[in-house]
Amino acid sequence: MYSKILILRFPKTESRKPIVCSLARDFDLIFNILNATILPRKEGVMVLELSGARKNFKKGVSYLRSQGVQVKNASQEIRRNSKKCTHCGACTAVCPTGALTVTRPEMRVEFKQKACSVCELCVTACPSRAMVATPINQSFFQ
């Protein structure tokens, strides 16, 4: 059994199609959606764990690409630069897993990296650019 965590970016033209369901039906792959933000007529982002036979995995990734989906290996992590963080809390508003929270009454942002699904929403929400995605291995599936 081969397994990877992937970040999928759906173009707005494809965001309403049941593309991920085809991975199970047509390629005998198992998927676990870790995080997803997909809105009609907008770009969608999904983080999922995909498992199955290596041959089927490669065929499934090729299928995703043929549908216009950008497939990226999630071999990265989110880090917070504590020197840049102003503890404004903007990142906590977009964090779907609760990895970023505000402690009270101190009003300090806490980051629990183990709870992070690497969706990168905090990276774009952070006005001081304290949240960064750090590649562990910058590889895209070919």
CA-only gyration radius of the chain, Å: 17
User: Domains, the chain, ranges and CATH?
Assistant: 2-73 (3.30.70.260), 76-135 (3.30.70.20)
pLDDT at 126: 96
More confident: 111 or 2: 111
Backbone angles phi, psi at 104, to 5 degrees: -115, 150
If one compares 2 and 131, the residue with the highest pLDDT of the two is: 131
- 63: its two tokens: 């299928």
Predicted local distance difference test score (pLDDT) of residue 93: 94
Q: Which long-range contacts (CB under 8 A, 24 or more apart) does 25-30 make?
A: 26/63, 27/52, 27/56, 27/57, 27/59, 27/60, 27/63, 28/52, 28/53, 28/56, 29/56, 29/57, 29/60
Tens digits of residue pLDDT in 73-97: 876 788 999 999 999 999 999 998 8
pLDDT for 140 equals 36
For 23-82, the pLDDT digits (tens) are 999 999 999 888 888 777 788 888 888 999 989 999 999 999 999 999 988 767 889 999
The 8-class DSSP code of residue 44 comes to: E
Instruction: Give backbone dihedrals phi and psi of 58, rounded to 5 degrees, phi first.
Output: -65, -40
- Listed in sequence order, the residues at least 6 apart from 55 whose beta carbon sits closer than 8 Å to its beta carbon are none
> Can you tell me which residue has the tokens 């609760």?
98
Confidence class of residue 136 from pLDDT cuts 50, 70 and 90? low
Global model pTM greater than 0.75? no
